[in-house]
Amino acid sequence: MASLDHYIDELLSRGRAWFSREEALEALGLSSAAFIVAARRLAKKQRLVSPRRGFYLILRPEDRVAGAPDPARWIDPLMKYLGLDYRISLLRAAAFRGSSHQAAMVFQVIAPKQLRAFDIMLWPPGSKVLHRFPSGSYEFIAGEEEGTGARQMCSLLSPMSELDSQALAVAIAEKAMQETGHAEDGVPPGAGVGESPASARWR
């Protein structure tokens, strides 16, 4: 009997990054209880997220930083799973054709009935997330605000009260941001951001 780990690897090898609970149970011959245990274990490893009960997204390494794959890659199979017709927002549709001058802040769909937001929260507000840059590792604090969504903050200047003016604070902040991209001894140039998950919200 194949494991859930092997099952999701096989799906990814075929270019598919989602599956339903029913599909997995049929393919693996697992009991519902065994599937739930396996799915929770993979979710803790940040390999799975579930925007709706019974529907799962498989996270590739690059998706774990953003929190989830681009919803454009999975909204269609999800809505089919829910049995709902839908349309995407005009701004997002324009982006597909390269005719939008700004990125959509949220992924909006129009459906025949009201749906609760698809929330994927891999790190709750207040949790600490470690990111790695060429200059070293930095600790960020996770947060979320209504209207702007999820964010991560890192204090590079402390205490701010010792700075004489806002202009000086801006100049020092810009210099600090530039320095994070410069490698220190023993840290290879081009080291990427650590695989710390983020949160994504789509409506």
Q: List the Cα angle 47/48/54 in 5-degree steps.
A: 160
The pLDDT of residue 146 = 58
Model confidence at 183, pLDDT cuts 50, 70, 90, reads low
Q: Are residues 139 and 64 in the same domain?
A: no
pLDDT digits (tens, 9 = 90+) for 35-64: 999 999 998 888 898 888 899 999 888 776
Q: Are residues 84 and 152 in the same domain?
A: no
Last residue of a domain, one of 121, 150, 172: 121
Region of poorest pLDDT, from 88-97, 178-187, 193-202: 193-202
The pLDDT of residue 155 = 72
Last residue of a domain, one of 91, 121, 151: 121
Tell if the pTM clears 0.95, that is, is over it: no
Amino acid found at 77: P
Q: Are residues 43 and 140 in the same domain?
A: no
Cβ-based burial of 8 (10 A; exposed 0-12, middle 13-18, buried ≥19): buried
CB 128 within 8 A of CB 142: yes
Q: Are residues 117 and 22 in the same domain?
A: yes
Query: Is 89's pLDDT higher than 80?
Result: no
